[in-house]
Amino acid sequence: MRTLVTGGIRSGKSALAENLLGADATYVATAPGRDDDPDWAARIRDHRARRPASWRTVETSDLPGALAALTGPALVDSLGGWLVTALDRLQAWDQPVADWRSALDREVSEVVSAWLACPHDVVAVTDEVGFGGIAEHRSARVFADELGRLNQAVAGASDRVLLVVAGQVLTLKDDA
């Protein structure tokens, strides 16, 4: 079963996703730690404190590799964190889209292929960025546009898609 959990910031999506898996799972953390950001460190502490002590943690930006290496159920948190790392690596923030589009499309395709090939229950968390207006700053527009595209691709390859709004869960897709 492949489940995508989407929602806004602080909607409750990560807590829901964690509760979808049993006591023996792997947490795949895709966003790098930031020693210079105490708020980010607090978020990471909150996530760690909620997880069962029996869970293993893998911190990586190689999401296809992490999915291929799984030996049991897993939670990927988050697709947005993976995307930021990919956009950083491609130096996409200040470059014309034509300079990095095909490379990002290949990486997204690799993620979706690994997602589909994973023989274990997997849950991925992502942010839903499509409810707001168009951002003033280019980097925010690039992120929102590309996360929307990534979310569509992973949702299309998922058995179940859940939307969390204000702590409430809506089932958008359930092919199980």
Which pLDDT value is given to residue 154? Answer: 98
**Averaged pLDDT, 9-15:** 90
Instruction: Give CA–CA dist 153/4, Å, rounded.
Output: 11
Interval 58-84 mean pLDDT: 96
47 is catalytic: yes
- pTM score, whole prediction: 0.93
Q: Is the pLDDT of residue 163 over 90?
A: yes
Query: Taking 90 as the threshold, does the pLDDT of residue 62 lie above it?
Result: yes
Class of domain 2-123+136-174: alpha beta
Residue 115 pLDDT > 80, yes or no? Answer: yes
**Range in 12-21, 45-54, 76-85 with the lowest mean pLDDT:** 45-54
Query: Which value, in Å, is the radius of gyration of the alpha carbons in the chain?
Result: 16
Nearby residues of 85 by Cβ (< 8 Å), 6 or more positions away: 30, 31, 32, 61
All structural domains of the chain with their residue ranges: 2-123+136-174
Number of helices (H), then strands (E), in the chain: 6, 7
Catalytic residue among 26, 47, 78, 154: 47
